[in-house]
Amino acid sequence: MKAGTLRQVLLITDGCSNHGEEPAAMAALAREQGITINVIGVMENDVIDEKGLKEIEKIAGSGGGVSQIVYAQQLSQTVQMVTQKAMTQTIQGVINRELQQILGDSRTMEDLPPDKRGEVMEVVDELGETSKLEVLILVDTSASMKHKLPTVKESLLDLSLSMNARMGDSRFSVFVFPGKRNDVEKLLDWTPNLEALTATFPKLSTGGLTPTGPAIREALSYFNKKRSLRGLLSHDDEQYFEESM
């Protein structure tokens, strides 16, 4: 099997959206386009309320990704773990579909005897190591996130360190929301190295808006733009993993 490109959005937030489209719906839209949405809820001294927790789970659920609530101190570990886990999940989804084609009925990896499962897992690991990866990082910079941002930056640097150790190429881009003029503002264009993120996060808007839904929607268009542009330049038949969990 040839390694394709895994595309993910990593949403880092600390609470509920209060503006624009429903985030879970936008996440479902992303999934339809083969993009996985992962969500990390960051707490510090505050606790995320029930409503926020539910929303975080719902976004990742309909986005086919992984969600996790953590204290800021554990962010580095979690960012890496969530990204890794979502990659494995996506690849497994693809493998499961292939298996169903071969084995018939609705059999998945779990129905195989452990030894065979081990062999399949080796393929999954191999693909996770060699696939190309594109992660669009979407950071909530609403007022309550302010003092968590240095930790967020550190954990993103750590993520690029982990992902760049893989054999496949990794590329990242960073967006913050709400932006100065729009719902989303680009901080860093697609790059393999997040070291470029040394510039601090821009001045935070204090309008109190958290447009998570619109932010996800715009992020998607950014994936698409890039893709179509590439399609025009070169007819590379790059294969994209499609989400199917």
Partner 1 sequence: MMMNNTLRNQCKLLPGSLITGKWNKNRYKIIKELGCGANGIVYLVESENRHYALKLSDNGTSIISEMNILKSFSKVQGSTLGPSFLEADDFMETGKQLPFYVMEYIHGHDFLRFIEKKGSSWIGVLMLQLLTSLSALHTNGWVFGDLKPENLIVTSPAYKVRCVDVGGTTLIGRSVKEFTEFFDRGYWGLGSRKADPQYDLFAVAMIIINSAYPARFHKKGEGYRQLIDLIKQKKELHPYRKMLDKALLGKYDSALQMREDLVTMLSNQNHLKKKPSSQAATRQATTRQARRSQSHSKKMRGGFFETFLLVAIISILYVLYIYEQLL
User: Measured between alpha carbons, how far is 52 from 175 in angstroms, rounded to an integer?
Assistant: 21
Least CB distance to partner 1 at residue 211 (A): 26
Amino acid at 96: N
Contact 175, 138 (CB under 8 A): yes
Nearer to partner 1, 32 or 122 (CB): 122
Cβ proximity to partner 1, 163 vs 215, nearer residue: 163
- Residue 46 or 125: which CB sits closer to partner 1? 125
- How far from 223 is each of 112, 122, 125, 134, 172, CA to CA, in Å? 36, 30, 25, 9, 11
Q: How far is the CB of 181 from partner 1 (least distance, A)?
A: 36
Task: CB nearer to partner 1: give 21 or 57.
Answer: 57
Residue 118: Cβ within 10 Å count: 10
* Residues at the interface with partner 1 (CB under 8 A): 68-70, 74, 76-77, 84, 88, 92, 109-110, 113-115, 117-118, 121-122, 124-125, 129, 158, 161-167
- Mapped onto helix, strand or coil, the DSSP state of residue 24 is helix
- State the minimum distance, in angstroms, from the CB of residue 126 to partner 1: 9
3-class state of residue 179 by DSSP: coil
CB of 34 to partner 1, least distance (A): 20
Closest approach, Cβ 221 to partner 1, in A, equals 31
DSSP 169: -
Give the whole-angstrom CA distance, residue 210 versus residue 224: 24
Of 68 and 173, which CB lies nearer to partner 1 in the complex structure?
68
